[in-house]
Chain A
């Protein structure tokens, strides 16, 4: 929890990056999705999506499960509890920052 939510330095930069923000937003509104679904929704290349997912996984925000379903590879993705909390906190912080700005 940031001490002063309207302080821009407290914004989670890992989530703030536009592509990762899209990934986090998409995963936030569902329980889980697979790699192909996310790629189609966000219109991203596999390499680009993979690299951003790796960063989110390293931070503990996203859980990536690689498995085989009916002998076909399947990559399931979901936000972890930490990821969901971080996203909620990010929303709160960015909202506060934008509200505090003079018109």
Chain B
């Protein structure tokens, strides 16, 4: 049962979110994105073909329709369809947009400042030399924020893994592309495990559930 005497509306909402993302599809697509980034950097390093780096940039436009189609074909026939309205979706979107705006604003302010003042230029060099640490902390923070908002606890683990790998990369000079490939690979494997488990646990249902002939 979804409710117990301590259940709050937020908990019900989180459980609803969680149940909709236990299919592992989001993990698989995020993993492919991270892997493409890693591959892009690796191939650019190996072949000196700088446009490899562009591939991950066009990924969302290509993959979002595929992700939605996979959701429609794999998830919805098994557990049904839900549309998250003003509460959950807006909250998540607000977090995402807030992070994007804050990131962009900081980047622009910083770019401007580094051309004006020498301290900003020194700070920029310092940030670049500690890029792995910053990326590790940033990834862990974003994963943690999404984990908390969506109620997906495995995102905490992904965040910690990223933090550990980026810190390792910084301190023992493990190249960025290998850090990204390792993270992507681990998340991809976990995504497929979740997908297999989901398909096994949730057999296909005939009709819309009102006639309940399960499994198919």
Contacts and interface: CB of A to CB of B under 8 A. Distances in A.
A26 B12 contact: yes
A28 B13 CA distance: 9
A33 B83 contact: yes
Given A22-B3, A41-B2, A35 B209 contact: yes
B12 A46 contact: no
A73 B207 CA distance: 6
A42 B209 CA distance: 13
Interface size class of chain B, counting residues whose CB lies under 8 Å from the partner chain: 20 to 34
Interface residues of A, number: 28
A42 to B, nearest CB: 6
Main secondary structure of the interface of B (DSSP, over half): loop
Given A34-B208, A35-B209, A22 B80 contact: no
B145 interface: no
Interface in A10-66: 21-22, 25-26, 28-43, 45-46, 50
Contacts, number: 88
Contacts of A32: 82-83, 85
A72 interface: yes
A75 B83 contact: no
Contacts of B208: 34-36, 72-75
A30 B210 contact: no
Nearest to B207: A73
Contacts of A74: 81, 208
Nearest to B211: A46
A25 B87 CA distance: 13
Contacts of A43: 1-2
B83 A22 contact: no
A33 B79 CA distance: 11
Contacts of B82: 30, 32-34, 37
Nearest to A18: B3
